[in-house]
C-alpha cells in the first residue's frame, strides 16, 4: 500500500457549493486549499459549456476541517441522475501511485455487482480518473493525483 493513499469525502451541492464552502469555513474553521470554477476549467477544457449562470460555479474544491479532507462541487458523479440527497455524497480514493489506482479500478470492476459510471481514463486534471458505484450504492471516485507525493 502506498504512503500517498487517502480517502476524501466528496459532496455534490446542486449549485450551492460556494454557499456550502462558506458555511464550512465560517462554522467549522475549514481551510480551502483548492478552488476551481467552471470559468477556470474552461481554460483547460474548451468543450465545457460556459454560461453567465455557471461560470462562477465550483467544478472542484478541496477544504480541510482539522485532519479531514472534504471536496465540494456542484454536480453529482453520475450526470444521468437527478440530484437528490443520497446521491450527492461519494468517496474519492486517490493516490500518487498510478499503478495502485489502476489496480483498485481493475479489482473492483471485476466484481459484476459494480456499476461503472465513468471508465478509468486520462482527462484534463488526472492521468487516471474513474467513477464506480459499489454493490451497496456508494459512488467511489478513483483518482491518480501526483500532488500527494
Cα(53)–Cα(31) distance, integer angstroms = 26
pTM of the model: 0.76
pLDDT at 149 over 90: no
Q: Are 145 and 139 in contact (CB under 8 A)?
A: no
Q: What is the pLDDT of residues 39-89, one digit of tens each?
A: 998 888 888 888 888 888 999 999 998 888 999 998 887 878 888 777 788
Would you state the pLDDT for residue 1?
Answer: 65
Distance separating alpha carbons of residues 87 and 92, to the nearest angstrom: 14
Rounded (10°) CA dihedral 12, 14, 19, 23? -40
Q: Can you give the pLDDT at residue 80?
A: 84
Residues 57, 70: Cα–Cα separation, whole Å? 17
Cell readout for 143 is 483518482
In this prediction, residue 115 has a pLDDT band, given cuts at 50, 70 and 90, of very high
pLDDT at 15: 86
Mean pLDDT of the chain, nearest integer:
89
Amino acid at each position: 500500500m502506498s504512503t500517498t493513499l487517502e480517502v476524501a469525502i466528496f459532496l455534490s451541492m446542486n449549485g450551492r457549493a460556494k454557499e456550502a464552502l462558506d458555511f464550512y469555513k465560517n462554522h467549522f474553521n475549514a481551510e480551502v486549499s483548492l478552488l476551481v470554477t467552471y470559468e477556470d476549467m474552461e481554460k483547460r477544457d474548451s468543450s465545457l459549456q460556459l454560461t453567465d449562470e455557471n461560470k462562477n460555479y465550483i467544478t472542484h474544491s478541496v477544504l480541510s476541517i482539522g485532519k479531514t479532507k472534504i471536496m465540494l462541487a456542484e454536480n453529482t458523479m453520475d450526470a444521468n441522475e437527478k440530484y437528490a440527497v443520497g446521491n450527492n455524497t461519494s468517496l474519492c480514493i486517490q493516490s500518487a501511485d498510478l499503478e495502485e489506482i489502476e489496480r483498485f479500478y481493475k479489482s473492483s470492476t471485476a466484481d459484476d455487482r459494480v456499476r461503472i459510471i465513468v471508465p478509468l481514463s486520462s482527462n484534463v486534471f488526472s492521468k487516471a480518473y474513474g467513477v464506480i458505484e459499489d454493490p451497496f450504492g456508494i459512488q467511489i471516485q478513483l483518482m491518480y493525483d501526483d500532488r500527494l507525493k
